[in-house]
Amino acid sequence: EFAMSRRYDSRTTTFSPDGRLLQVEYALKATDSAGSATGILASDGVVLAAQKQSSSKLLATPRQSEKIIRLDDHLLCVVAGLNSDANILIQSGRLMAQRHRYRFQEPMPVEMVCSWICDYKQWYTQHGGQRPFGVSMLYAGWDECHGFQLYKADPAGTYGGWRATAIGENRQGAENLLKNEYEETCNVEQALELAVKVMSKTLDTTTPTADKMEFTTVTRGEDGQVRIHQLTEAETEALLARVEIAGAAAGDA
């Protein structure tokens, strides 16, 4: 399938004869082999889950999540792909969000941040000599206009709003599972439990543990303030235990 395409690889500005931008597709392939992550929209919040990867025991424990990253107080992104590319996008996203706050004295709407970063990514698919960003991203947050939202964006800069989706390794399997089991009326707790199932599937494990996956929720407190909470190790273990019990009970029934 790719035999002829080698001639059209070297410049992202060139379409192949069958109308494809091969560099962009290769970039997407790069993200598909990255650590998996999933996002699920609940009625009262958004749940994000990501694989915790550690290539070596000698690696120092990261102080913050390497995949689920804050862009502002009301807004997070999840990255799958080249971390160095992701850092550039994150930094410019954070800067844009603060510039918006400065100009308009209010938080930047979630979709606007997503769309701005996508425009930034798109530039690299239409100018010669530069490769696209090898990152797929999920954006999750809350704003006054549209409430809780979840977006997915690919290296080409295409984005869409999702109720539940996945990026990274085994995302097809994850997406199938979500298609079958996602319910729009779910709450954050139910979404968390579904996220455990999804991550267990993408990591291909029947015994999920807190050192392999992490969970973050976006909700609103009683005072209306957006609350971003990364589940502690203890909370994660409790969640995994709840899902195991539910699974065992269902198995027995």
Least separation in angstroms between residue 117's CB and another protein is 15
Q: What DSSP designation does 41 have?
A: E
Q: How far apart are the first and last CA of the chain?
A: 48
Would you say 97 or 199 has its CB closer to another protein?
A: 97
Least separation in angstroms between residue 112's CB and another protein is 17
Binding flag, residue 98, another protein (CB under 8 A): yes
Binding flag, residue 70, another protein (CB under 8 A): yes
Residue 62's alpha-carbon distances to 46, 187, 196, in angstroms, are: 24, 30, 22
Displacement of CA 215 from its chain's centroid (Å): 12
* Sole window of 67-75, 122-130, 178-186, 204-212 interacting with another protein (rule: CB under 8 A): 67-75
Least Cα distance to 121 among 108, 135, 110, 107 occurs for 135
Among 11, 94, 163, 242, binds another protein (CB under 8 A): 94
Would you say 107 or 134 has its CB closer to another protein?
A: 107
Would you say 25 or 85 has its CB closer to another protein?
A: 85
Displacement of CA 188 from its chain's centroid (Å): 17
Neighbour count for residue 165 (Cβ, 10 Å)? 21
Binding flag, residue 227, another protein (CB under 8 A): no
Among 56, 61, 64, 185, binds another protein (CB under 8 A): 64
Would you say 56 or 105 has its CB closer to another protein?
A: 105
Binding flag, residue 20, another protein (CB under 8 A): no
Specify whether the backbone of 205 is left (phi greater than 0), alpha (psi in -120 to 50) or beta: beta
Binding flag, residue 60, another protein (CB under 8 A): no
Binding flag, residue 63, another protein (CB under 8 A): yes
Least separation in angstroms between residue 105's CB and another protein is 7
Binding flag, residue 101, another protein (CB under 8 A): yes
113 near 93, Cβ under 8 Å? yes
Number of residues counted as binding another protein (CB under 8 A): 14
| Bridge partners of residue 138, in order along the sequence | 78, 152
Neighbour count for residue 65 (Cβ, 10 Å)? 17
Binding flag, residue 131, another protein (CB under 8 A): no
Strand runs labelled E in 82-191 = 135-143, 147-153, 159-161, 164-167
Binding residues for another protein, rule: CB under 8 A, are 63-64, 70-73, 91, 94-95, 98-99, 101-102, 105
